[in-house]
């Protein structure tokens, strides 16, 4: 079995590469990554010498490059993690999100069609459903929830999802889609909430929290997400969408306070900043379908996952210290102030 993992130097893709090489030592894993600011080769450092792993630097929107890669490697499955994924950045520059998330997905599927109708899996997000009210905890996103996007990021992912489903209906391409809740865990780029708070709290820096911090997210430990995708690509029903949720709803401010408590830091570090434009209030996924069809349930309780995540950032400071500089520092200053 040979699998192409796009975006494999990023957070979820990188964890998936490690997961698959560990679980399936006989599989060949090819990673395609553009190595933008969020792609980090050090995430893959421990597997670079693995004879079953190949890294390729390239852009999924570069049709000629991708076609050559498909000619060179006879892929059995393509798993597309490659995406511009940060909402704030999509508000600053929507165009790059359209190119990578929509055009890039189309390029990959065209190559799948050309080279033998290759199995294609699209890794999407619960953000395509928009948000839910805080005062209706009974409401959850299901696979039948209408798409109702709030940002250029979620709109680009929704556009890609619709394109994927159209390739199944029009061309018969064997596709599946997974829509996950917020992931957390090792190798998470420190512009996102949990790693941002951990890395800043370690050095007693202020912790910027949007608005009043009451926005709620459903948190999924990244290894549980990798297990779900593994099940979908091997046993999922072609043409289907699967929601992957963690059953761990927490408000942003509660997340920050949990991190501070684990690190033994004062809540005085919390600083409330101007809210994000169009900030969704609540995400919550109903994963009943993937449980009924594939037997998947999240195994990691948030209390355990956040401890493991904090420990990883404490033990791997060289990884994230290299990131918190240059372009990322300039971006942080722009978004949250000096």
* Marked catalytic residue, from 28, 59, 84, 126: 126
Task: List, for residues 170-182, the tens digit of each pLDDT value.
Answer: 999 999 999 999 9
**What per-residue string of b and e applies to 78-108 under the rule 16 or more CB within 10 Å gives b?**
bbbbbbbbbbbbbbeebebbbebbbbbbbbb
* Marked catalytic residue, from 153, 187, 210, 313: 153
- Is the whole-model pTM more than 0.85? yes
pLDDT at residue 338, rounded to an integer: 46
Would residue 129 show up in a list of annotated catalytic residues for this protein? no
Residue 332 scores a pLDDT above 60: no
Q: How far apart are CA 197 and CA 258, in angstroms?
A: 10
pLDDT at residue 202, rounded to an integer: 96
Q: Where are the beta strands (DSSP E) in 163-252?
A: 175-180, 182-184, 207-210, 216-221, 241-244, 249-251
Length of the chain: 338
Would residue 127 show up in a list of annotated catalytic residues for this protein? yes
CB of 8 within 8 A of CB of 36?
no
Q: Give the pLDDT mean for 137-151.
A: 91
Q: List Cβ neighbours of 316 (8 Å cut-off, separation of 6 or more).
A: 186
* Marked catalytic residue, from 127, 223, 224, 280: 127
**Positive or negative CA dihedral for 77, 80, 46, 64?**
positive
331 vs 212, higher pLDDT = 212
Q: Give the pLDDT mean for 198-210.
A: 95
Helix (H) or strand (E) holding 68: helix 63-72
Task: List, for residues 222-247, the tens digit of each pLDDT value.
Answer: 999 999 999 999 999 999 999 999 88
Would residue 67 show up in a list of annotated catalytic residues for this protein? no
Q: How far apart are CA 168 and CA 203, in angstroms?
A: 49
Task: List, for residues 105-143, the tens digit of each pLDDT value.
Answer: 999 999 999 999 999 999 999 999 988 888 888 889 999
Task: List, for residues 21-80, the tens digit of each pLDDT value.
Answer: 999 999 999 999 998 766 788 899 999 999 999 999 999 999 999 999 999 999 999 999
Task: List, for residues 242-291, the tens digit of each pLDDT value.
Answer: 999 988 899 999 999 999 999 999 999 999 998 777 777 888 899 999 99
């Amino acid at each position: 079995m040979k699998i192409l993992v796009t975006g494999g130097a990023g957070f979820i893709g990188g964890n998936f590469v490690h997961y698959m090489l560990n679980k399936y030592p006989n599989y060949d894993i090819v990673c395609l990554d553009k190595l933008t600011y969020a792609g980090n080769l050090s995430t893959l450092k421990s597997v670079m010498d693995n004879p079953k792993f190949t890294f390729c630097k390239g852009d999924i929107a570069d049709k000629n490059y991708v076609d050559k890669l498909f000619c060179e490697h006879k892929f059995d499955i393509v798993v597309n993690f490659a995406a511009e994924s940060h909402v704030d950045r999509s508000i600053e520059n929507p165009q790059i999100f359209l190119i990578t998330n929509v055009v890039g997905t189309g390029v990959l599927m065209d190559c799948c069609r050309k080279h033998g109708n290759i199995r294609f899996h699209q890794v999407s997000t619960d953000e395509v459903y928009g948000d839910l009210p805080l005062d209706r905890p009974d409401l959850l996103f299901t696979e039948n929830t209408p798409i109702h996007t709030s940002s250029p990021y979620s709109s680009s992912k929704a556009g890609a999802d619709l394109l994927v489903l159209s390739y199944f209906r029009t061309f018969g391409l064997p596709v599946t889609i997974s829509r996950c809740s917020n992931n957390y865990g090792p190798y998470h780029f420190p512009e996102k909430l949990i790693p941002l708070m951990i890395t800043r709290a370690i050095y007693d820096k202020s912790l910027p929290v949007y608005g009043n911090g009451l926005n709620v997210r459903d948190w999924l430990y990244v290894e549980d997400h990798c297990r779900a995708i593994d099940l979908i690509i091997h046993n999922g029903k072609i043409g289907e969408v699967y929601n992957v949720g963690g059953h761990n709803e927490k408000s942003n401010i509660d997340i920050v306070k949990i991190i501070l408590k684990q690190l033994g830091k004062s809540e005085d570090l919390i600083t409330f900043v101007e809210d994000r434009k169009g900030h969704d209030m609540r995400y919550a996924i109903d994963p009943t379908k993937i449980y009924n069809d594939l037997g998947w349930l999240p195994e990691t309780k948030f209390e355990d996952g956040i401890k493991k995540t904090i420990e990883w950032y404490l033990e791997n400071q060289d990884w994230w210290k290299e990131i918190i500089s240059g372009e990322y520092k300039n971006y942080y200053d722009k978004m949250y102030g000096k």
